[in-house]
Amino acid sequence: MLDLGDYQLRQRDYLLRINQAITAQLDLETVLSLVVRYAVEIVAGNYGFIALYEAPGESAERLRIAVSYQIPPEHYPAFTALLAGLADPRVTREQQARLLWQTAEEVRLPLRQMISLPLLIGQRPIGFIVVFRAAVNVAFTMADESLIAAFAAQAAVAVQNARLYRAAVQEQERLNAIIEQSADGVMIIDHRWRITTFNRAMEQLTGWPREEAIGRPCAEVLGIHNEQGFNICLTACPLQRRPPEPNPTVEGRITTRDGRERYVSSRYSPTYGPHGEFLGAIANVRDITTRKREEQQQATFISVISHELKTPVAIIKGYASTLRRPDANWDQQTIREGLAVIEEEADRLDTLIGNLLDVSRLQAGGLALQLGPVDLPSLAARAVQAIAATASERFEFQIRFPSNMPPVHADEERIRMVLTNLLSNAVKYSPNGGVIRVGGWVDGDQAVVYVADQGIGIAPEDQQRIFERFYRVDNTLGRQTQGAGLGLYLTKAIIEAHGGQIRVESQPGRGARFIFTLPLEHRQLPVAEAANTAAQAQMVADQQDPHASAAANG
């Protein structure tokens, strides 16, 4: 055995090493393994372990061996009763001795003597350090207990540090996960306005990879511009306003790394030092492109509707005022022509108001349909007759349906509106005239209907949006053509209310073809009739111009 001076020297040496280990790293198991090994060696023990409560304040059943010295992990379950005895202040030393003997018998290890001390943080126990001797005749002394107490204090510090570090890491990981999974873009900047955090939503919104964005000035990466084209982040950064605002917000347009134009709203949560110096900020960036475009469409809609309403009202008022002049004596022909214009403009007003009402109904929850059997060839013929009566002689109208075309299950008046709108668009956007075709065929349990023209066609970028509310194709002819941008929006809504779909096929300068589907009145056709219909459909398809379709939104 070592004398007291050697014990004290070795104790100081071991405690210094443990202190260095605790300072150098925060891995709990590594530090505790060092503590228990030195504790066993300093008191000439043979075995030992450190047991911890899984959480502060847990019951004895939650006391588990964290690390051990010379005790194989597969023996840990055998120490359950002994651990419960250590944690229970009602268990006497004699009872602990019996529990030790039973445990030694079960694990077949010479655990003859035991010393245990609690690990304390303040007055709260967080676990135990336990050392065993194999010798029967060498009992632990008060000096041994004093030495173990020093190691227990070091172990408690290690546990506390590691748990605090682990909690901080877990909290940081949780915050990182929240930031990363946020639907909004999240960007953190430091006191120099340099980006330190850049989540996935910001990558998708700006087109900047985070590894390139981090470290750059936020004005370079985000670069929000106002309507006049000035970079707000450079000329009027909201974080530089004086006095500072608690949560400044800025809206504007950005150009992404890959050339897309988006509208964003950026809300900042800045942090300031004790003297008002800027320390950094978190920016929540939201894509408001859809909202902005909706606002722009609404503004365009109001402008167009105002014009569309004023024009017929002005014409009606002008003709009515002219016809009722007391100083004029109009002949019957002039009166009839004037009244015809008034009637035509009143019909225009009625159609426009009807479309606006239909839009309101859609927004309120859908269109009411009066469903029944509808003869498509007959309905198409009537729609063509009405449009042809107002079209110039430059147009030729063709109707192509199989002779045995079955009826569809639809609202006849609504489908007439669809055909009328598509035919009207075909005429509007075919300034040079040409052939306008209306036809269809049977495909399974649905009818496929098309309206095709040989007009100016639709650009690919417009084909994705022409069914949007208030959207109008931005070309010279589109700007000169009357319309509020509701026709195709309503057409699509009507077709979808019937359970069908509508699409457009077009090439600029080569016309366009609108194709939609409707359910058949009788879903199952006899085999012979289905074969005949399929053959006729193929014949019709073979005759069609592959580039035909109707033109733009009116």
Q: What is the mean pLDDT of residues 43-65?
A: 79
* In-domain check, residue 551: no
DSSP, res 461? H
Q: Is the pLDDT of residue 203 over 70?
A: yes
Q: State which amino acid sits at residue 49.
A: F
Instruction: Convert the pLDDT of each residue in 252-276 to its tens digit.
Output: 999 898 888 899 999 999 988 888 8
Q: What is the mean pLDDT of residues 210-219?
A: 91
Across 69-83, 154-168, 264-278, 294-308, least confident range = 294-308
Give yes or no: residues 56 and 147 share one domain.
yes
Among the candidates 248, 269, 287, a domain finishes at: 287
* In-domain check, residue 492: yes
Secondary structure element (H or E) that encloses residue 131, with its range: strand 124-133
Give yes or no: residues 202 and 346 share one domain.
no
Q: Give the residue from 95, 101, 57 showing the smallest Cα distance to 79.
A: 101
* In-domain check, residue 415: yes
Name the pLDDT band for 32 (thresholds 50, 70, 90).
confident
Q: Identify the CATH number of the domain in which residue 419 sits.
A: 3.30.565.10
> CA–CA separation, 67 vs 50, rounded Å?
6
Give yes or no: residues 22 and 105 share one domain.
yes
Quick one: pLDDT at residue 148?
Answer: 87
Tokens of 209: 């990879």
Q: Is the pLDDT of residue 530 over 50?
A: no
Quick one: pLDDT at residue 196?
Answer: 93
* In-domain check, residue 550: no
Q: Identify the CATH number of the domain in which residue 262 sits.
A: 3.30.450.20
Q: Identify the CATH number of the domain in which residue 360 sits.
A: 1.10.287.130
Across 167-181, 429-443, 481-495, least confident range = 481-495
* In-domain check, residue 180: no
> CA–CA separation, 283 vs 180, rounded Å?
13
Name the pLDDT band for 303 (thresholds 50, 70, 90).
low
**Is 200 or 315 the better-scoring residue by pLDDT?**
200
Tokens of 238: 């909201």
* In-domain check, residue 553: no
Buried b (16+ CB within 10 A) or exposed e, 492-530: bbbbebbebebebbbeeeebbbbbbbbebbeeebeeeee
Residues 6+ apart with CB under 8 A from 421: 487, 488, 490, 491, 554
> CA–CA separation, 194 vs 381, rounded Å?
68
> CA–CA separation, 158 vs 42, rounded Å?
19
Across 262-271, 377-386, 472-481, least confident range = 472-481
Give yes or no: residues 200 and 241 share one domain.
yes
Expressed as residue numbers, the domain containing 521 is 372-543
